[in-house]
């Protein structure tokens, strides 16, 4: 059950759904107005984005298996949650994510090779955060929510109407950083959107071990308007994100969105989900695939011609080829460059460590 503007009034509401897994449109007087302008052309664009980022994900996984990347965090199954929310943002909004939001980075304008350079271990960051208004991925679980809230307070102080958006998973909601971010955001009515992708598994721990109710209820506990939506439904994600952004821009403060989705792949390529995940559960969620769902809806409206499908596949394949070529061509950095950009000003202790490390490296060159 939901109340005004999508605010949950029950601890365990059914996720808001506008597209069923079979691709059938569901009417919602509350949410429909927020997607009334989303036409077939825009839905085809979202479909294209999702197909491309899934292809990127597949290629990056293959690169890791072939020894070209040290690690890769797959997003398989979470394409709708990431693409639809990212496409609802303005260019001046600022995004803070974990390490899995590669689709968000793609939609914000990151080049394919910038998605993998960190995982090839040749740089400490993939892109210039200010070029796409997106911070580089945060590996410390939940820490990005604090960064987003702090940035949002800065927006508020500047009198601007941009919004900070924090993406995180269900596991992060058990971290103290997230609670602290929610406290500050609520207390100061910060213009921040907390976008939680409940993919059901925090590595090998199911979400049922972390909460007895919905994760959206945690937002309500801090006095933050919250929504629980079907994260595999591009229309529901678009509507919820737009509601949250509008609230933030109009001075209404933060919103907590729980996008109920599923991680169909491993936590990272170092993980084996078959050791802890029931096969029947995976099969059930494959039937809720976000791409297949939108494909079914567009097909029912005669909006997926053979030519369009071929075009989308060509874009996906060319993007994957660009990713692979760019990854393999990345040069190894100079070992001493690890000390660059640590401090804004020269630092004696850092310089001493740099000299020690240079001496250590020289020892290898002198060895017979």
Spatial separation of the C-alpha atoms in residues 162 and 192, rounded to whole Å:
9
CA separation (Å) from 212 to 181, 218, 349?
A: 22, 11, 49
Q: What are phi and psi of 166, to 5 degrees?
A: -110, 125
Which residues, 6 or more positions from 20, have their beta carbon under 8 angstroms from its beta carbon?
A: 26, 293
What H or E segment, with its residue span, contains residue 320? Answer: helix 306-329
Catalytic residue among 55, 100, 263, 288: 263
β-strand partners of 227:
257
Which residues, 6 or more positions from 30, have their beta carbon under 8 angstroms from its beta carbon?
A: 2, 5, 6
| DSSP secondary structure string for all residues of 54-113 | HHHHHHHHHHHHTTS-S-----TT-HHHHHHHHHTS-TTSEEE--SS-HHHHHHHT--GG
For residue 216 the two structure tokens come to 């959206």
Catalytic residue among 25, 65, 90, 276: 276
| Cβ proximity of 27 and 56 under 8 Å | no
Which residues, 6 or more positions from 206, have their beta carbon under 8 angstroms from its beta carbon?
A: 200
Whether 263 is catalytic is: yes
Whether 188 is catalytic is: no
Catalytic residue among 44, 108, 267, 288: 267
Radius of gyration of the chain (CA): 21
Whether 247 is catalytic is: no
CA separation (Å) from 227 to 8, 243, 329?
A: 6, 10, 44
Coil vs helix vs strand at 311? helix
DSSP letter (8 states) at residue 295: H
What is the set of active-site residues? 263, 267, 276
């Amino acid at each position: 059950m939901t109340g005004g503007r999508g605010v949950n009034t029950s601890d365990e509401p059914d996720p808001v759904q506008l597209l069923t897994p079979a691709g059938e449109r569901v009417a919602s007087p509350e949410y429909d107005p927020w997607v009334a302008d989303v036409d077939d052309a825009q839905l085809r664009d979202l479909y294209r984005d999702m197909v491309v980022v899934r292809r990127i994900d597949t290629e990056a996984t293959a690169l890791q298996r072939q020894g070209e990347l040290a690690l890769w965090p797959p997003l398989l199954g979470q394409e709708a949650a990431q693409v639809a929310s990212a496409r609802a943002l303005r260019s001046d909004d600022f995004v803070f994510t974990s390490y899995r939001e590669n689709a968000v980075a793609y939609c914000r304008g990151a080049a394919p090779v910038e998605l993998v350079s960190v995982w090839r271990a040749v740089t400490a960051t993939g892109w210039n955060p200010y070029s796409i208004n997106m911070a580089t991925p945060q590996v410390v679980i939940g820490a990005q929510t604090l960064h987003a809230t702090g940035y949002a307070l800065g927006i508020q102080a500047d009198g601007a109407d941009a919004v900070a958006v924090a993406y995180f998973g269900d596991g992060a909601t058990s971290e103290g950083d997230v609670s602290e971010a929610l406290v500050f955001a609520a207390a100061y009515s910060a213009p921040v959107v907390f976008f939680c992708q409940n993919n059901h598994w925090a590595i090998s721990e199911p979400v049922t071990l972390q909460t007895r109710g919905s994760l959206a209820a945690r937002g309500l506990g801090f006095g933050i308007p919250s929504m629980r939506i079907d994260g595999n439904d591009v229309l529901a994600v678009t509507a919820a994100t737009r509601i949250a952004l509008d609230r933030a821009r109009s001075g209404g403060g933060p919103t907590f969105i729980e996008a109920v989705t599923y991680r169909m792949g491993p936590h990272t390529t170092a993980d084996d989900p078959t050791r802890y995940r029931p096969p029947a559960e995976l099969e059930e969620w494959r039937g809720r695939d976000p791409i297949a769902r939108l494909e079914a809806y567009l097909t029912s409206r005669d909006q997926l011609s053979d030519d369009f499908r071929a075009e989308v596949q060509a874009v996906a394949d060319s993007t994957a080829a660009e990713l692979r070529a760019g990854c393999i061509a990345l040069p190894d950095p100079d070992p001493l460059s690890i000390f660059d950009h640590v401090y804004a000003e020269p630092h004696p202790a850092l310089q001493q460590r740099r000299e020690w490390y240079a001496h250590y490296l020289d020892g290898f060159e002198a060895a017979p």
